[in-house]
Structure 1
């Protein structure tokens, strides 16, 4: 039937009997643009009205016609003709069909209940007439602007340009009281201090407003406010959720890192690099006060996801974790829903499954680990000096023994008589009895970068040489109680057992299967063994159940208690070798050492194990000198340096692993991998330079660089749109986390591109961007709207007035604490424990509740426990932390009113405010009411409001039994009034 319609149409067109007028000029309330743009004028029409039958989905496509691609839209139709002939509307079947009035010929067909407006028809007609220029999706085109980047009126000009097209007129500027309240809340999340209000109102100079803005931009509270915005993006929480809601070590350090970064106006490109690859930066950013490196803290966002302990299928668990990491990373920094390509090519965006699994390999190559939180230049310098001292000691021994080699040279004979290893039932994973780590990676300071083979053993009391150390990996290489981790390369488990020969105390050996970290019973408990023995022991791990899975070995001083890493001062671990084997522990492992290297370098004592053995025998026989007076001060200095390396502060972070390329999982099922492995790279649609990452590690550094490539069209756009969203309550692109084809079009595309270009030009300064926006006239407009605006722009998209917006949960709670003078402005530190109500029950419930008022601290410092979320926060729409939420829901539900009326915190604070009021010594009723209004609303009460307050008190006094005889009646009355103030719309809205 469909093909017959096309045949009939072609016939009629050829005979010229349709009688459709070529003159389709028409006047519209909103004039047609001079140049019709495909992305902003044409594509929305096609998507809404045509894609159902002529879009990307082949299962619903009709007449073999595609209108979602240029090639498809301009291709010859099966029965002749073309849907679109650029520049020739008379030969374009699409034009003929949309203007046809025959129900059997018109498009869209009547049965779809879709109908084009006359303006939409005219746009399509004009676009084809102008050449039907097709463009790739708008967000994949690099931003450009013709505006002067230094023009202070650029924002208002571009906003005004759109208003003129829509026939809108701007409203007046808001009054000063409203402006300072607006700026204070949106920049700091707190209401302004009455003294600040008074100062601003009294300042009549032209620069008064800009000066006021700078005060709040430079307030410490600024970082707390904007850090919380960012925390929504990275699903910030301090526990893992699932059954037992285990703590995420040091999560709050990441929160403090964000606050400092926003307050210091760290450039956004630096923030991005620190999040994606902060652990890999050569030049790290230091904390200005402590000198500690900040950069690696950014990577904590990777580990903020929910965590399942003892999953039955650990490989599926890894796939789910990586999927969440990809989803959060790409939404946060690129505004794209890349995870939609997990099971197949993205249905709407030009993102392939290969793109997804290229990023999957990047995340799979990343290893999770506790990271010392206090590493800075001092510790790095101490580590270098300690290595230098050890080298000095080795060279000193070498210089005195340079002529005493006769016995040692006999070691070659000993080597040649070693028993050859013939047992084939094991694989040597790592052998540390030689001089190196056999391909293993050493992170932190403890193990250094080589084995202990040939290191002098010195009596710390006398400095006397006791011998040379055998080869082993030792966390005592730098001293006891120093953090470090020794990790094997990735391997595929193909034996029943993994064995590690080790000794130590308060330390651990762990088998990390498919990057799974929450190791515990009932399934994985055996994969984490504590080492507490002073004798060499064989630590055996039964991995038969996980054959075919990838894994690596982690040798680490200290250990985990309920998944929180601890490092006692006496912790150390030493290991000789690691093997994978079947059956019994190989009896000949002691003879299995690598004997290839026989040439010695006496300058560094980089000698073979058997020569160390012979030298030690000569020492015992007195054939070599033992007294080195120079050692005593060196030993003392070494201990002092070792003490500087100690730390008791950690956070869950990451280290780079070995590069892994992933296959594509058919329909997202890891059990059905493709034969082809996808090289690690970025999204192919962006085509930014050499796409394949060359790094032998994860490729995260390259990922950060490609996101910041000057030709990347997304990074700056996405961030400035987020800033705009937080200031106006709606982004220029409303779908702040989705700049793809399913996302909304920008309401002001020229403005978005101007801000994106300006952002980069201004050095990625977040504060500079905020200053530019809040000092615009657009931002300063009143919220008052007339009937014309309400009818023409009901959603206030074009900003003729400032949008009325409700405060976020944190701003409401913190605002209450400020107006009651109860806020403790102390910054940073561990979170305040969650206040537990009787209804907050379940596994993982803390044994002790936190205080009702959160110790008066700002909401950002309250603990975020996934299984025990704070009711007031969730009621007022703080998102549940499981994925990226760049835009919070703004609901209006009865439970919000109930919270403000009945929550014990609100009642407590109302009583505190009443008590503070009565302590002020204010005499008249009017003075008291005015004090409350200035505190709560940053303005004086009107005469009408004073009258309402008086009536309210009269009502309270006449209500029988309202004031308890045992209470202070005056306090009780004012408490009720203060409580009512918290329930007014103006208290929780910016109006």
Structure 2
């Protein structure tokens, strides 16, 4: 039968893409049986006329939409771009049957009018017979689309175990004690490029401070660094910043981009992730504590399955970590529960694939991956792991995600004691009512309603019952809620059938839980029958021999420091991703990462102490002519601060930053609608806390964050865009937030018993990390004087005696300083 026109168009576009070398390798003989005369008569009288009338026009000898023919048995068995349309003996696995049943909204054939019930029944009966056909028993080998040649696939660089090459030795090796520099200098020499000299100390300090903690250096920190003339001065700065609690807040945000963190669901039912903040705080703590990356990964995938002995705090930490698998957006009002379950699994596979493996595994849901050696069966091997995981407690509208309880023994005891008090009070009320009833004359009639009975009680008894019930209601209202955290646990253990075209309505072979074959270099991890396989999957990812896990993470760190990865497509290491600019360096870093115990801070330190990182960003025309994109790192690339660093920097220089760490700023209860039916919006963004603590509301992101290229919280984003558009400048010039913060900054400056020149020097040191030039001082003094005079004249003309011209002049000057490119860029 023909495929839906939309599906056909999409698949047609895919067909124009180059097909990977490992596609269509294996062949398999059809499973049709030799037809009996009676069966052939059934086909000729019932099935062939149906196909001629409804299918041949688009899928016959002259036309094959989506590369599908149904006028031959071989054509149906081979199928089109969506896969085999016929599986003899298996109607539920045959796309032909799915299409005519109109089960799938995207696959309804014939598209104009559904077949009659009798015709559909005949077609199903024919498939159940084994699809008898005049060609039965004579069809040759049938090509199965999308088979994967694993050995061919493993030739791709990213699927091979990293090799720790010896750093190059050249003329300048003595000047490159850091192996990073040895690799980079070798590439520079090969390209005929000269590296820039080191950046000056002020520039370097501002660069690394924003880089590691997302805040500007203070004047005191600047003075201390300038005064330290030792060889280890910069190393001491790096160590100080890595030890700062603000480090986890800054680099935690990088990971939250990858974890698609948000405080609400978005999509159809935008309800609040009221406990998502616990996962965010877990990430910040983990990075501050330099938790080994392998542990960090295992906890997020399978923390609930780890043995924490009697350590309650550790147990809770690991349960919170599994929020990683739950944070994605979900269509919570989906009526098809089986579809919702598979959509959630697909989102988990896609997230895990791109975040940890740098692979677009989700592309294999409907068919074998078009480019990477990931088969349809590989996908459903992974799907079984996540289908055996309980992510949702209910799929009924509105569906509910799972949350693990994380109460302490004391909290559990307090709840029990409170519930015992409620039970005792309920018993006291019941006893009092019973006693009062027993004293009534005439006795209580069985037809008499309780409310009417109590009206006959003495006034004193009624008053006492009223008091007791009010106290009971107050106690119930005050019942403590045990803390919970978004997370998962093992559910019913199952293997998953291949979903033809990704649809749960047409099922193929059942695939045992496993990992993609092309990556199973040391064979498949053993998954016990009674476990989901999440723990084994996580341990396989972090065994130190995996070809992708360490590479992907060190590349993310490199991107965080330099603005681009050694592999520029940080979320895609597959065949359509970019090859590494420095493959030997990437592998050397990946192996070193594992050798040093997966320490993220140690990797930071190595990168930051390299000459490559410490180079100036100055322009060099000759180098730029050879390498305009700075692919070979002859200089440090100028970078604009992210939205959070701009906001936090403004808060810091204005003196308004609240350094409190952790906690919840949401104005909503868990699972409450962010926007109710009266369009009431309780979201607030006026906090002075770090930006990482500002609620992330899907479908309603904070305006400033959106303006400065904040991540789309609905999808994993490892490589934010950096745009330059007029509204960004207009925001800095006109927003109420910037106005309020620059008034606060002006007030700080005016508190000093100093002249304008001294105040300008302080402003420049705090905002730019450098002293102003003589020209900047003179121009600033002139601006302040003229602006204040103008305001005074306007004040006299308007009769306004409330405003302070001096304060307003300083606010305008401060706003001009922090709105400049020098404030929002690091160099």
Alpha-carbon distance in 2 for matches of 1:159, 1:673? 51
Match of 1:312 in 2: 335
Q: Does 1:694 align with 2:525?
A: no
1:351 to 374, 379, 384: 374
- Structure 1 residue matching 2:623: 3-state secondary structure: helix
Match of 1:932 in 2: 763
Q: Deviations over 1:83-119 (max 9, x none)?
A: xxxxxxxxxxxxxxxxxxxxxxxxxxxxxxxxxxxxx
Q: How does 1:24-39 map to 2 (within 5 A)?
A: none
Match of 1:810 in 2: 644
Asked if 2 retains the 8 angstrom alpha-carbon contact of 1:243 and 1:844, the reply is no
How far 1:947 sits from its partner (Å)?
A: 3.0
How far 1:654 sits from its partner (Å)?
A: 1.1
Q: How does 1:305-384 map to 2 (within 5 A)?
A: 305-368=328-391, 369-375=402-408
**Gap change, CA 1:844 and 1:302, over 3 Å in 2:** farther
How far 1:182 sits from its partner (Å)?
A: 0.7
How far 1:945 sits from its partner (Å)?
A: 1.8
Asked if 2 retains the 8 angstrom alpha-carbon contact of 1:806 and 1:988, the reply is yes
Alpha-carbon distance in 2 for matches of 1:193, 1:186? 15
Match of 2:272 in 1: 247
Match of 2:692 in 1: 860
Match of 1:300 in 2: 323
Match of 1:948 in 2: 779
Q: Deviations over 1:56-84 (max 9, x none)?
A: 987788xxxx9946999xxxxxxxxxxxx
How far 1:974 sits from its partner (Å)?
A: 0.2
How far 1:261 sits from its partner (Å)?
A: 0.3
- Structure 2 residue matching 1:294: 3-state secondary structure: helix
Higher helix share: 2
Q: How does 1:163-242 map to 2 (within 5 A)?
A: 163-242=188-267
Q: Deviations over 1:407-449 (max 9, x none)?
A: xxxxxxxxxxxxxxxxxxxxxxxxxxxxxxxxxxxxxxx9xxx
2:512 to 679, 684, 697: 679
**Gap change, CA 1:313 and 1:735, over 3 Å in 2:** same
Q: Deviations over 1:132-187 (max 9, x none)?
A: x99711100111113379x9510110010111111100111111111111111000
Q: Deviations over 1:661-695 (max 9, x none)?
A: 11111111111111x11111111111242356224
Alpha-carbon distance in 1 for matches of 2:728, 2:590? 37
How far 1:864 sits from its partner (Å)?
A: 1.1
- Structure 1 residue matching 2:316: 3-state secondary structure: coil
Alpha-carbon distance in 2 for matches of 1:920, 1:958? 21
- Structure 1 residue matching 2:257: 3-state secondary structure: helix
**Gap change, CA 1:284 and 1:704, over 3 Å in 2:** farther
Alpha-carbon distance in 1 for matches of 2:339, 2:776? 61
The alignment's C-alpha RMSD in Å is: 3.1
Q: How does 1:443-482 map to 2 (within 5 A)?
A: none
Which consecutive residues of structure 2, in runs of 5 or more, have no partner in the other structure? Answer: 1-12, 26-151, 169-175, 392-401, 421-425, 427-474, 669-673
How far 1:882 sits from its partner (Å)?
A: 1.1
Match of 2:733 in 1: 901
Alpha-carbon distance in 2 for matches of 1:724, 1:772? 11
Q: How does 1:547-558 map to 2 (within 5 A)?
A: none
Alpha-carbon distance in 2 for matches of 1:753, 1:872? 38
Alpha-carbon distance in 1 for matches of 2:602, 2:310? 21
**Gap change, CA 1:822 and 1:926, over 3 Å in 2:** same
Alpha-carbon distance in 1 for matches of 2:519, 2:198? 42
Which consecutive residues of structure 1, in runs of 5 or more, have no partner in the other structure? Answer: 1-55, 73-132, 384-445, 447-475, 483-504, 506-566, 572-645, 835-839
Q: Deviations over 1:861-915 (max 9, x none)?
A: 1111113210001111111211110010111111211211122111100111111
Q: Does 1:977 align with 2:823?
A: no
How far 1:802 sits from its partner (Å)?
A: 0.6
TM score, norm. by length of structure 2: 0.69
- Structure 2 residue matching 1:867: 3-state secondary structure: coil
Match of 1:777 in 2: 611
Alpha-carbon distance in 1 for matches of 2:324, 2:277? 11
Alpha-carbon distance in 2 for matches of 1:67, 1:882? 30
Number of aligned residues: 609
Match of 1:157 in 2: 182
**Gap change, CA 1:725 and 1:568, over 3 Å in 2:** farther
1:649 to 466, 480, 483: 483
Alpha-carbon distance in 1 for matches of 2:587, 2:194? 24
TM score, norm. by length of structure 1: 0.58
Alpha-carbon distance in 2 for matches of 1:699, 1:814? 42
1:918 to 750, 771, 785: 750
Match of 2:599 in 1: 765
Match of 1:636 in 2: none
Higher strand share: 1
Q: Does 1:878 align with 2:710?
A: yes
**Gap change, CA 1:152 and 1:698, over 3 Å in 2:** farther
Q: Deviations over 1:769-817 (max 9, x none)?
A: 0000001111111000210121111111111111100101000000000
Alpha-carbon distance in 1 for matches of 2:789, 2:823? 27
**Gap change, CA 1:246 and 1:849, over 3 Å in 2:** closer
Asked if 1 retains the 8 angstrom alpha-carbon contact of 2:268 and 2:333, the reply is no
Q: How does 1:393-404 map to 2 (within 5 A)?
A: none
Alpha-carbon distance in 1 for matches of 2:300, 2:388? 16
- Structure 2 residue matching 1:677: 3-state secondary structure: strand
Q: Does 1:745 align with 2:579?
A: yes
1:715 to 537, 549, 563: 549
